[in-house]
Amino acid sequence: MMAAPIGAAALNVPLVGRPGSRARLETPAAVLDLDIFEHNLSMMSQTCRQAGIGFRPHAKSHKCAEIARRQMAAGALGICCAKPGELMALFGAGIRDLMLSAPVASAVKIDRLARAAAEGGRICVVVDRPDLITAYAQAASRHGTCFDVLVDLDTGLNRSGVADAQAAVDLARRVTQHASLRYAGVQAYQGRVQHIADFEARRAANAEANHVLAGMIAALRQASLAPDIVSGGGTGSHQLDAQAGLLTEVQPGSYVFMDEAYNPVDIDGRGGPGFGPALRVAVTVVGHSSTGFAIVDGGSKSFALDGPAPRVLLGQEVVGRVEWCGDEFGRILPNAGDAALPIGTVVECTVPHCDPTINLHDVLHVVAGDQLVALWSVEARGRAD
């Protein structure tokens, strides 16, 4: 059940189901355009189904149990999480098939994960060093449960994972030596590939990572440790991964929401992002600057700024771009020749980068047509632990 909303979201509760309510939201408010979201959701599941590749979407982009449930209903194999806290928040909200896609260094957090597994979670973890394997094995055994384990491979991201085939074989073998661990395969996420805008350049970079990965998989096979699961990829590479046939599943995150960072990326080689901008932040024109710009009530506390400037939407129409002017405010740079919007106008802005933006909001205002239709809790908001 959703926690009682606070702030602008609480003021918006009476608007649910009211005609015209979308343009009357109290702001700043994270908004989910339901039609675009459903399009994004079904496009990913269709692409993967047609290509015969699985998908285990990443919750780091949305942090929302309702979205995770809908991804599972659309055929996802499970839900990836970046941090134990994010995973525990979704587990607490009823999601059971969860994978922690990064190694950890805390015995306390490992114990919590084992407890979740003992309470009915099907928890998959990744390992990139021997002591982490021991820690997971001991925690699972203490709680009378089991973890699925992927060996984390570095195919060029240079963040976590082993880059050496023999090290991968050694780790996989160690995993098989523990009764409380099940060796399930490997993870190889190449994050540097995802945002390369040009399709052919991204294909070439992905092929380079796949070449490294293929060598490591061959070594594992040779050692009778062939991986069942080969997990990796994201929104930017999922089509290439589906064609390459090396991964058994992809981990796309941003596709549900999309953002300005992904907007220039030619995801399918047809010239555009393919997925639509489902996540917006609604803001209100609260005044006009002495130089004549419309000032809106959203700044760095409502948008993560690490991406290109948002487009400003009034209905379907793009009426300008936001330029930041502080933690709480932005100014609208209108299209050439347009007058500043009147005070009180509610506009929706696309977001520079969806993952850290959703982390600033407790509630998603779900809109369809001209109405606010639901409020969804962002259960893992703030869970960077």
Ligand X SMILES: Cc1ncc(COP(=O)(O)O)c(C=O)c1O
H/E stretch holding 218 reads helix 199-222
Q: Which amino acid is at 191?
A: G
Closest to ligand X by CB, 22 vs 381, is 381
Least Cα distance to 76 among 190, 194, 199, 238 occurs for 238
Q: What is the DSSP string of 68-112?
A: HHHHHHTT-S-EEESSHHHHHHHHHTT--EEEE-S----HHHHHH
- How far apart are alpha carbons 197 and 201 in whole angstroms? 8
Closest to ligand X by CB, 252 vs 330, is 252
- Among residue numbers 85 through 104, which ones bind ligand X (CB under 6 A)? 101
Residue nearest to ligand X (CB): 234
Closest approach of ligand X to the CB of residue 355, in Å: 7
Report yes or no: 116 and 79 within 8 Å, Cβ to Cβ: no
Closest to ligand X by CB, 180 vs 254, is 254
Closest to ligand X by CB, 116 vs 153, is 153
Closest approach of ligand X to the CB of residue 60, in Å: 6
H/E stretch holding 239 reads helix 238-244
Closest approach of ligand X to the CB of residue 56, in Å: 9
- Among residue numbers 247 through 286, which ones bind ligand X (CB under 6 A)? 251-254
Q: Which amino acid is at 254?
A: S
Mask: binding to ligand X, 208-247, rule CB under 6 A, as x and -? --------------------------xxx-----------
- How far apart are alpha carbons 67 and 149 in whole angstroms? 25
On the 0-12 / 13-18 / 19+ scale of CB atoms within 10 A, 4 is: exposed
Mask: binding to ligand X, 36-75, rule CB under 6 A, as x and -? ----------------------x-xx--------------
Q: Is the dihedral of CA 42, 311, 29, 359 positive or negative?
A: positive
In the list 191, 276, 308, 382, the residue contacting ligand X (rule: CB under 6 A) is 191
Closest to ligand X by CB, 178 vs 381, is 381
- How far apart are alpha carbons 261 and 232 in whole angstroms? 20
Q: How many CB atoms neighbour CB 37 within 10 A?
A: 24
Answer yes or no whether residue 161 interacts with ligand X by CB under 6 A. Answer: no
Q: Which amino acid is at 126?
A: V
Task: Number of residues interacting with ligand X: please give it, by CB under 6 A.
Answer: 15
Closest approach of ligand X to the CB of residue 89, in Å: 17
Closest approach of ligand X to the CB of residue 321, in Å: 23
Closest approach of ligand X to the CB of residue 126, in Å: 9
In the list 55, 91, 183, 189, the residue contacting ligand X (rule: CB under 6 A) is 189
Closest approach of ligand X to the CB of residue 357, in Å: 12
- How far apart are alpha carbons 28 and 5 in whole angstroms? 14
- For binding to ligand X (CB under 6 A), which residues are involved? 58, 60-61, 80, 101, 189, 191, 194, 234-236, 251-254
